[in-house]
Structure 1
Amino acid sequence: MPPQWTFICLSLILAAISSADLRGAGHAVPLRTTPEGNLRMRGGAPFKIALFADLHFGEAAWTEWGPRQDVNSVGVMATVLEKEQPDFVVYVGDVITANNIMIKNASVYWDQAVSPARVRGIPWSSVFGNHDDAPFEWPMEWFSETGIPQLHCPATNASFSGGEECSFRDTTRLELMKSEIEQNTLSYSKDGPQNLWPSISNYVLQLSSPSNSQEAVIFMYFFDSGGGSYPEVISSAQVKWFQQKSQEVNPDSRVPEIIFWHIPSQAYEKVAPKSYVKKHCVGSIFLEDVAAQEAEMGIMKVLEQRPSVKAVFVGHNHGLDWCCPYKKLWLCFARHTGYGGYGNWSRGARILEINHQPFSLKSWIRMEDGHLHSEVLLSS
């Protein structure tokens, strides 16, 4: 089968999987018309969150391999969602591999990535990773004897002829976030304050108690840790925003807080297990060095000094899935979920479980084959 027809067929398979999920889930998904309020716990049940990290949709889109990985990634997410039945999903960056995407609007791939949650009626939020708005990288093999392949854009399946259907410019963070928010009632993602330019996904969500929407059980903070078109760093401006926002919503640090961003801070390098000595770390893969942010602008110092912060969750390193204690909080990696990206480790997702009265925060890894491991209590 020629590569271009393979691409078309796999794109249709991916669409069929999403359609089948939608029929099975029985959810009608209208367009978002008004901003969503706070998240709310269900009475008598813990609140469960699935973290999907490093999906890398759209990687090597012109090959037979690439679209097949997107189908496989949908399968991983579907398994986790069916097994865990979470209340919420967090996409922890590198949702797409923009440096491999040659269409005008990469939100087509972003939309495929969030479809397993959407078709089941599960709300979600997202932060950006270093690949999500990276500039297109021209494959060197296109300049060899094989030449540029006949490319097909998933929106129209029209062959590339140098026209408007395909493009080799990246889709900006702002464009990706705008598309997600405007087209999905289930998205809790936000642009973030304009004065934090150029970063986008900086916001806080409140999880409220079942009986009182004003009673916060936990605050969840989301940061854009850069990469792609920006330096890989959480800026001083973001640190000040967190200080102001946390003082506004949780002035006495009475309510627990958890943090999400994509690229690990340099504190992850300090706490990373050395050799086979795991200390008090909990996980199953310790197979690479931490690839940390380029600089430390103060975010970790602020988090360390705030007693309400229980844990930070990141992606980025596909060969790490551990949680390690760091001073008075925990530093955790999510599990590599997508079949795109480097590494052949088994795929899965980190799960968070939040209980109210008494409060507890527990986590474990749910694998694609269904088994669980690496359970850890993060609120002790």
Structure 2
Amino acid sequence: MSVHNKPPISIYLSILILIYVLFLNPLRAEDKRQEIRFGNNGVFRILQVADMHYDYGKSTECLDVLPYQKKSCSDFNTTEFVRRMIRVHKPNLVVFTGDNIFGFDTIDPVRSMNMAFEAVTEAGIPWAAVLGNHDQESSLSREGIMTHIVKLPHTLSRINPDGLGYEIDGFGNYNLEVKGALHSPLANKSVLNLYFLDSGDYSTVASIPGYGWIKPSQQLWFQQTSDRLQQEYMSEPEAQKSPAPGIAFFHIPLPEFKLFDASNMTGVRQEPISSPSINSGFFTTMVESGDVKAAFVGHDHINDFCGKLNGIYLCYGGGTGYHAYGKAGWSRRARVIDVSLEITMNGNWGSVKTIKTRKHLDDPPRLSSIEPIVLWSRHYAGRRRKVVP
């Protein structure tokens, strides 16, 4: 081809721009990753994995297991448990609620994280994570840990929201919007809102001992996000005239967890509630928001109860990891949360009808299901809601 017959540079430029938009544009990839929705069966299933404390893999010994289990037990037991839960129960989203890696004597935290999340990254399904109080105790800061997590395959995790106009405390504060079922009137609306917060590690105030807490800047972000989502949802003619329900995930339990005992909870409380020594008021903030129906935490591995207070269920995940402390003879466990849509008069999938949860034990060859609970039902919820200006 002669020089005179070559295509003009503008054509090459157009092709490069098209390739960028279709395949390389990071904003487009992020938007695509963000879209999660209810399936054609009207259910959105979440698997909560709490306190893996992942370390070296096969060479890591298990803690608090029966003598006959010790020889063959390692971090790989944690991986296989999570893998089986994904394979059998097919969650739409997996949520890791902190202390994902052991931290304290972890030599290579990046390698440990890659192994810790392997079961979900290889499955190719969406997942999200928050940090616990141990994740940063190796050579990476909390920001460094979260920066690596957001680069892993199929994650919806975020370091922090953009464009707030103020600094927000912690790393891993973000929300996810779960859209309605495809081809339904609410297909483009968030009918379930998921909030993820960094509950910190340890107090940085000399006069306040103990664990960290959810700070005012995080609560402000939560309030603003909840208000915005409620306004968007309530503007939809097909929506029920009450907020779309919300679920919160963080690591360290709130002081309100101490208000439950055998008389007002489902599950067990086998160790003290390791909450912050002060009450930062986040539970009150959630109640005032009017949309959060349940909050799920980790941290205390052999507590797995749910209790209801002021219209919100507070739930432990129960320890999943084998390199985390536990209780010999008390199976490691994970929690499943099923959110179901109602069917409208026209036969379409509509708003969220119920939120239910149950626990599954790692008791091969079974994954025994125990203690199912209805956390929320629209027909019994009444019309209490925050008035959004």
TM-score range, shorter chain: 0.7 to 0.9
Root-mean-square deviation (CA, aligned residues, Å) is 2.5
Looking at both structures, which has the greater relative contact order when contacts are Cα pairs under 8 Å and sequence separation is at least 6?
1
Q: How far apart, in 1, do the equivalents of 2:83 and 2:145 lie?
A: 23
| Contact 1:99/1:131 (<8 A) preserved | yes
Q: How far apart, in 1, do the equivalents of 2:59 and 2:321 lie?
A: 18
Q: How far apart, in 1, do the equivalents of 2:304 and 2:114 lie?
A: 26
Q: How far apart, in 2, do the equivalents of 1:279 and 1:256 lie?
A: 27
Q: State whether structure 2 residue 50 is matched by structure 1 residue 53.
A: yes
How many residue pairs get matched?
Answer: 308
2:179 equivalent in structure 1: 208
| TM-score (normalised: structure 2) | 0.74
2:4 equivalent in structure 1: none
Q: How far apart, in 1, do the equivalents of 2:252 and 2:218 lie?
A: 15
Residue 68 of structure 1 and its aligned partner are, at CA, apart by 4.9
Q: How far apart, in 2, do the equivalents of 1:302 and 1:325 lie?
A: 16
2:131 to 104, 128, 139: 128
Q: How far apart, in 1, do the equivalents of 2:279 and 2:133 lie?
A: 17
1:250 to 230, 239, 249: 230
2:356 equivalent in structure 1: 362
2:376 to 368, 372, 379: 379
Change (3 A) 1:226 1:196: farther
* Post-superposition CA distance 1:253-296 (Å, at most 9, x none): 611111000000111112x20xxxx223112x321111112322
| TM-score (normalised: structure 1) | 0.75
Larger CA deviation: 303-312 vs 125-134: 303-312
Residue 107 of structure 1 and its aligned partner are, at CA, apart by 1.9
1:37 equivalent in structure 2: 34
| Contact 2:307/2:314 (<8 A) preserved | yes
1:265 equivalent in structure 2: 254
Output the amino acid matched with 2:222: F
Q: How far apart, in 1, do the equivalents of 2:102 and 2:147 lie?
A: 18
2:220 match: secondary structure? helix
| Contact 2:319/2:326 (<8 A) preserved | no
| Contact 1:31/1:183 (<8 A) preserved | no
Q: How far apart, in 2, do the equivalents of 1:65 and 1:311 lie?
A: 31
| Contact 1:366/1:373 (<8 A) preserved | yes
1:199 equivalent in structure 2: 170
2:266 match: secondary structure? coil
| Contact 2:62/2:322 (<8 A) preserved | no
Q: How far apart, in 2, do the equivalents of 1:45 and 1:193 lie?
A: 29
Larger CA deviation: 320-329 vs 32-41: 32-41
1:213-224 counterparts in 2 under 5 A?
Answer: 213-224=187-198
Q: How far apart, in 2, do the equivalents of 1:31 and 1:50 lie?
A: 31
Q: How far apart, in 2, do the equivalents of 1:372 and 1:172 lie?
A: 37
Q: How far apart, in 2, do the equivalents of 1:31 and 1:268 lie?
A: 46
2:117 match: secondary structure? helix
| Contact 1:204/1:219 (<8 A) preserved | yes
Q: How far apart, in 1, do the equivalents of 2:321 and 2:285 lie?
A: 32
| Identity %, equivalent residues | 27
1:280 equivalent in structure 2: 264
Residue 197 of structure 1 and its aligned partner are, at CA, apart by 4.7
1:362 match: secondary structure? strand
Q: How far apart, in 2, do the equivalents of 1:242 and 1:108 lie?
A: 32
2:376 match: secondary structure? coil
Q: Which runs of 4+ in 1 moved over 3 A?
A: 30-33, 59-68, 193-198, 228-231
| Contact 1:282/1:322 (<8 A) preserved | yes
1:108-187 counterparts in 2 under 5 A?
Answer: 108-134=111-137, 136=138, 170-184=139-153, 186-187=154-155
Q: State whether structure 2 residue 193 is matched by structure 1 residue 225.
A: no
| Contact 2:169/2:217 (<8 A) preserved | no
Residue 60 of structure 1 and its aligned partner are, at CA, apart by 10
Q: How far apart, in 2, do the equivalents of 1:294 and 1:61 lie?
A: 37
Unmatched 5+ stretches in structure 1: 1-29, 137-169
1:299-314 counterparts in 2 under 5 A?
Answer: 299-314=282-297
2:147 match: secondary structure? helix
Output the amino acid matched with 1:182: K
Q: How far apart, in 1, do the equivalents of 2:57 and 2:125 lie?
A: 29
